[in-house]
Amino acid sequence: MKVAASYSFKEEIKAEADRLGFQKTGFAEIVPLEFESGYFKNWLDEGYHGSMSWLANSYSKRINPAALLPGAKSIIVVAINYFHPQKSIKDSVGRVSRYAWGNDYHVVVKEKLVKLWEFILTAKPDSKGIINVDSGPVMEKLWAKRAGIGWQGKHTLILDKDVGSWIFLGSIITDIKFDCDMPAEDYCGNCTLCIDSCPTNAIIAPYQLNASKCISYFTIEHSDDVSKDVVNKMGNWIFGCDVCQSVCPWNKNTPTGVAEFKPKEFSSGLEFDKVLAMSEDEFKNIFSNNPIRRRGLKGLVENVQRIYKKQ
Ligand code: SF4
Ligand code: SF4
C-alpha cells in the first residue's frame, strides 16, 4: 500500500475503518492502567462483578495489555453503530436487548477488524497485533475513553457524541507506535436519567455500576437463583436490558447501515411458551449466529421461567 505524503498512515487506517463500516476509530498509547487499576481493584473487592470470576482472575492482564502482547505500543479502538428501529415490541413476551437482535457482534466486528489488520499489514508486514471484541482480558471501555471514541456515561457505557451508546467496541493491540488521540469530553452534565430509570438500582452512583445487580448480568452471565425482589423488578427482560440506554438523550437512534445487525424475527419479543417448548435443534437453528446462543437453551429457559412464574 502506498501512503500519500500528505495523508498519514493513521489517517489511512481511519479511512479504511470508515470504509469497513466503523463510525469511529481512535488510537491510544499502551501504558499500564495505573489510575484505573485502583478503581477496578476496589470494584472487584466490593464484589460488584458477582459470579463473573474471570474478571478477577485476569486482573493483571487487564491492567497491563503489554502482558498480552510483549512490545505492545498502541491500541486501535473502533466503534460501530448497531441501532435498528423496532416499532412493535410486545408487552406480553420476553424482551431481548437490542445488541442481540442481529448476528453475533463478536463475529461481525471481528471479521471487520481482521480486514483492517490485513490492511495495516500491507504497509507494516512485520507487525504484531491482537484483535479483541469483548472476549479477551482487555478493558475496552477504558481504552475507548483514552482513544477518544467517546466518554463513559454515568451508566458506565461509552457514548459517542454523534451516535450515542448503541455501539459495539473492538480493538487491536499492536507493536506499531502511533500518535495518540485526545480523550473525549464528558457530556453527561447534570443528567441522571439512566440512574433514575434503572429498575434494580444497579447504577449505585454516577459512573459506578454494581454489575451483580444489573438485569443484563442476571439474564446473560448468572445461572443461580435470583431473589423474588429482583425478579419483580426485571420486567419482561429475558436477555439483557436496554432501559438505561433508551432514556439517554445522547442516543440519536440513527439506524445502522450494517446488514448483519438487521433484527431477526424474535427481536419484537420471544413468546414464553415457545421458549419453554423449544428443542435443542430449534434453539440452534434460531440462535446459531446470535449472542443468545452463548446463554444456551437451558439458560434461556431459566430466564423465561423466572419471569413466567411471577405472572
Ligand atoms: S442495563 Fe438495565 S439493570 Fe443494568 S444498569 Fe442499565 S437499566 Fe440498570
Ligand atoms: S442518561 Fe444522562 S447521565 Fe446517563 S449516560 Fe446519558 S447523558 Fe449521561
Domain ranges of the chain: 9-85+102-174, 193-251+261-310
Task: Assess whether the C-beta atom of 248 lies below 6 angstroms from ligand 1.
Answer: no
| Those residues with Cβ within 8 angstroms of residue 278's Cβ, 6 or more apart along the chain or in another chain | 286, 297, 300, 301
Is 174:72 a contact under the CB 8 Å cutoff?
yes
Please give the C-alpha separations between residue 61 and each of 58, 132, 245, in angstroms, as whole numbers.
Answer: 5, 13, 29
Distance linking the first and last C-alpha atoms of the chain:
61
Rounded distance between C-alpha atoms, residue 84 and residue 264, angstroms: 11
Task: Assess whether the C-beta atom of 120 lies below 6 angstroms from ligand 2.
Answer: no
**Ligand nearest, relative to CA of residue 240:** 1
Rounded distance between C-alpha atoms, residue 28 and residue 41, angstroms: 22
For residue 307, the model assigns a pLDDT of 84
Task: Assess whether the C-beta atom of 248 lies below 6 angstroms from ligand 2.
Answer: yes
What pTM does this model have? 0.94
**Ligand 2 centroid distance, CA of 165 (Å):** 10
For the chain, the helix, strand and coil percentages under 3-state DSSP, each to the nearest 5:
40, 15, 45
For residue 79, the model assigns a pLDDT of 98
Q: Find the catalytic residue in 18, 45, 104, 134.
A: 134
For residue 251, the model assigns a pLDDT of 96
Please give the C-alpha separations between residue 112 and each of 18, 141, 142, 146, in angstroms, as whole numbers.
Answer: 11, 19, 21, 22
For residue 3, the model assigns a pLDDT of 44
SS3 259: helix
**Ligand nearest, relative to CA of residue 218:** 1
Q: Note if 134 is an active site residue.
A: yes
For residue 87, the model assigns a pLDDT of 67
**Ligand 1 centroid distance, CA of 236 (Å):** 13
Q: Which amino acid is at 193?
A: L
Mean pLDDT of each 10-residue bin along the chain, 311 residues long: 63 97 97 88 94 91 90 97 82 90 97 98 97 94 97 98 96 97 96 98 97 96 87 94 97 93 90 94 95 96 86 60
Task: Cell numbers for 217, please give them.
Answer: 448480568
Task: Assess whether the C-beta atom of 150 lies below 6 angstroms from ligand 2.
Answer: no
Task: Assess whether the C-beta atom of 195 lies below 6 angstroms from ligand 1.
Answer: no
Task: Assess whether the C-beta atom of 152 lies below 6 angstroms from ligand 2.
Answer: no
Burial of 232 (0-12, 13-18, 19+ CB in 10 A): exposed
**Ligand nearest, relative to CA of residue 249:** 2
**Ligand 2 centroid distance, CA of 310 (Å):** 31
User: Using CA positions, which residue lies closest to atom 1 of ligand 2?
Assistant: 248
Task: Assess whether the C-beta atom of 151 lies below 6 angstroms from ligand 2.
Answer: no
Rounded distance between C-alpha atoms, residue 78 and residue 132, angstroms: 11
Measuring CA to CA, which residue among 222, 178, 194 is closest to residue 9? Answer: 178
**Ligand 1 centroid distance, CA of 199 (Å):** 7
